[in-house]
Amino acid sequence: MRHPARGCVNVLLGLMALLPLAAVSGEPDLRGVGDPTKPPPGVLARQFGGGGASADDAAAAAAAVAAASAASAAAAEAAAEAKALALTGIRINLGNGEGVAVVGDEVVKVGDKVRGMTVVSITHDTVELKGPAGARRLKLPDVIDQSRAPARAAKRGRKDKK
């Protein structure tokens, strides 16, 4: 006498054996496809040099693209420099008064170097840096008080005056 569950188990094992075949999808092979965010080559030439395809127009288009990419690279570098010297957190040990700060992606204390500048002092809301280009003071953004102001006004039942 055969057990009825044995037939179900055999069917399930057979289906599980077919799962790897079903998992292979029909995704297209994208090797050799260019960057989909870049416009086709003729678009840049028409945009910067008109409809003609002369060598001078192509050179002018290439120069314009190079100038635009250099400007965007300079802007990206300036943004990275600003982020590198952005103060995002301070912690002061109340026992001994020593503090650490998060400047950019680094945790620093007094005496450490950040981007060629030395940390001179850390207070509850500022970090002072000194370097060959001069001194710089980084201030902790006051986002907590700004975010709580509408809640306090709502709690009191009136709007704050600006």
H or E stretch covering 127: strand 126-131
CATH of the domain at 97: 2.30.30.830
What average pLDDT does the segment 58-84 reach?
68
pLDDT at 112: 93
Choose among 84, 86, 88, 108: nearest CA to 98: 108
User: In the prediction, which pLDDT does 141 show?
Assistant: 79
Domain that holds residue 68: 41-82
Number of domains in the chain: 2
Residue 7 lies in a domain: no
Q: Does some domain include residue 35? A: no
What is the C-alpha to C-alpha distance for residues 138 and 129, in angstroms, rounded to an integer? 8
Predicted pLDDT at 130: 93
Q: What is the pLDDT of residues 89-143, one digit of tens each?
A: 898 888 888 899 998 888 999 999 988 889 999 998 899 999 998 898 998 877 6
At 149 the pLDDT is 61
Q: How far apart are CA 73 and CA 90, in angstroms?
A: 31
89 shares a domain with 125: yes
- Residue 51 in any domain: the answer is yes
- Report the pLDDT value the prediction gives residue 157, as an integer from 0 to 100: 64
Structure tokens of 95? 């026992």
